[in-house]
Amino acid sequence: MIRIPRGTQDILPEDSSKWRYIENKLDELMKLYNYKEIRTPIFESTDLFARGVGDSTDVVQKEMYTFKDKGDRSLTLRPEGTAAVVRSYIENKMQGYPNQPIKLYYNGPMFRYERKQKGRFRQFNQFGIEAIGAENPSIDAEVLAMVMHIYESFGLKHLKLVINSIGDANSRKEYNEALVKHFEPVIDTFCEDCQSRLHTNPMRILDCKIDRDKEAVKNAPRITDYLNEASKAYYEEVKSYLTDLGVDYVEDPNLVRGLDYYTHTAFEVMMDNPNYDGAITTLCGGGRYNGLLELLDGPSQTGIGFALSIERLLLALEEEGIELDIGEEFDLFIVTMGDEAERYSVKLLNHLRKNGIKADKDYLKRKIKGQMKQADRLNAKYTIVIGDQELANNEIDIKNMATGESETVKVDELVQYFKQ
Ligand code: HAM
């Protein structure tokens, strides 16, 4: 038997309504903040991620689904959205659009070859935003407040916003030098990847999945001690905006994020429920990326964004016992008695549906009781029974399933009845 690939999942009808509800709500929220949707391809050229996300990140080194197409081009199923959105921004010269900054959001599947765990998949669905073209602490704070607004609007309460500053390129340079000095004496005890990262990208040692629990990682220098004045001032302003906005946060000087493009503001939203038994508590991650556009041969614009996976949002909802108010309603189930009635109901259904009424009938020649059960299972608001008598009189009794009351209606007036 052929089975579903490891780390992927089918979203079955009983769950897909939750997904649709969440996605619709996210679309609505984006309107409040003036973000517009962008859709980019599922695969991109491999170089985009190697350069954008960073050659020495775990994502690029270990987790990408990379393949050659028939024209011998190296392509990769996108592991994240930022590099692709930035590529599109540059290619479409969005810096020239009249409305600046450019505020974009996306929602779609991403792919990473990771070890399957609760909340960790190989195909997962990221909803993310990117605001490109403004370097202003107020937009950083707005993005953070927006993330919390999103989670709160689904009813989630037990969350923690964790923030840090990674500083600008100069701060990072000094920090990297300090890390090299710190790790050099013990690097032999680290994994091969970390050994090769020491001189290319020592910050990545801090989030290596193999070595991150080592003592030397725990007591490594902290980026916050290497921020220059400009970076410190930017960070302080972001925090003071957050205070103005009443957004609670905790600072974690060890939060460096796993992708290379971050500068200044970095953040994650974590589940804050001590009883949660899963290993993964990060719901969302993001930050500012000041050098990324130039790195990808674009203009010297800067951006900030975040991404969250719908899978982890659903997990958090489940953890907090929150039922989404999906409110799926079905208008009418037609119960038929006899062949003639069934033939008639096919035409009637066609007419009702074309007039916007959600309606269905039995297809399995069930007895009346079975058909009624089917109406119940569908949560139909109304049922009608069509038999010889109804056909002869052109009148039917329409039964309100909630109250049990019936009314007699002319078949021709059924659409009108629903419209009212
Ligand atoms: P990231 O931290 O790699 O950042 O991923 C962001 C979010 O995607 C995570 O917090 C988690 O919700 C979800 N996620 C990541 N990997 C998995 C997985 N294997 N299974 C389920 N969910 C997962 C980024 O991707 C950046 N592009 C975010 C960003 C946007 N930064 C600036 N703009």
Which residue is listed with tokens 């020592």? 202
β 330-336/359-361 pair status? parallel
Query: Is the distance from the beta carbon of residue 333 to the nearest atom of ligand 1 less than 6 Å?
Result: no
Select from 309, 310, 313, 314 the residue to mutate for testing ligand 1; criterion: most ligand atoms less than 8 Å from CB.
309
Residues 6 or more apart whose Cβ sits within 8 Å of residue 410: 394, 395
Cis-peptide into 101, omega within 30 deg: yes
Q: Give pLDDT, residue 281.
A: 87
d(CA 87, CA 297): 9
Sheet hosting strand 43-45, strand order edge to edge: 43-45, 74-77, 65-68
Q: Give pLDDT, residue 206.
A: 87
259: enclosing H helix or E strand: none
pTM above 0.75, yes or no: yes
Tell how far the Cα of 126 is from the centroid of ligand 1, in angstroms: 7
Bridge partners of residue 361, in order along the sequence: 334
Q: Give pLDDT, residue 63.
A: 96
d(CA 229, CA 165): 12
Residues 6 or more apart whose Cβ sits within 8 Å of residue 208: 58, 190, 191, 193, 194, 197, 217
The b/e string for 294-316 (b: 16+ C-beta within 10 A; e otherwise) is eebebeebbbbbbbbbbbbbbbb
Distance of CA 11 to the CA centre of its chain: 15
Q: Give pLDDT, residue 193.
A: 87
Mean pLDDT by 10 residues, the chain (420 residues): 97 94 98 98 98 93 96 98 98 97 98 94 98 98 98 96 96 93 93 90 86 88 94 98 98 91 97 82 96 97 98 95 88 95 95 96 95 94 94 93 94 91
d(CA 95, CA 300): 10
Query: Is the distance from the beta carbon of residue 263 to the nearest atom of ligand 1 less than 6 Å?
Result: no
Residue type, 297: D
d(CA 80, CA 110): 6
Q: Give pLDDT, residue 254.
A: 86
Q: Give pLDDT, residue 100.
A: 97
Q: Give pLDDT, residue 5.
A: 97
Q: Give pLDDT, residue 263.
A: 96
Q: Give pLDDT, residue 166.
A: 95
Note the pLDDT tens digit of each residue in 185-223: 999 999 988 998 898 889 989 888 788 788 999 899 999
User: Radius of gyration (Cα) for the chain, nearest Å?
Assistant: 28
Select from 312, 314, 315, 317 the residue to mutate for testing ligand 1; criterion: most ligand atoms less than 8 Å from CB.
312
For residue 249, what are the CA distances in angstroms to 71, 144, 148, 152, 258?
Answer: 49, 10, 10, 14, 20
Q: Give pLDDT, residue 128.
A: 98
Select from 6, 144, 162, 259 the residue to mutate for testing ligand 1; criterion: most ligand atoms less than 8 Å from CB.
259
Give 181's Cβ-side CA count (13 Å radius).
7
Task: In the chain, count H helices and then E strands.
Answer: 15, 16
Q: Give pLDDT, residue 276.
A: 80
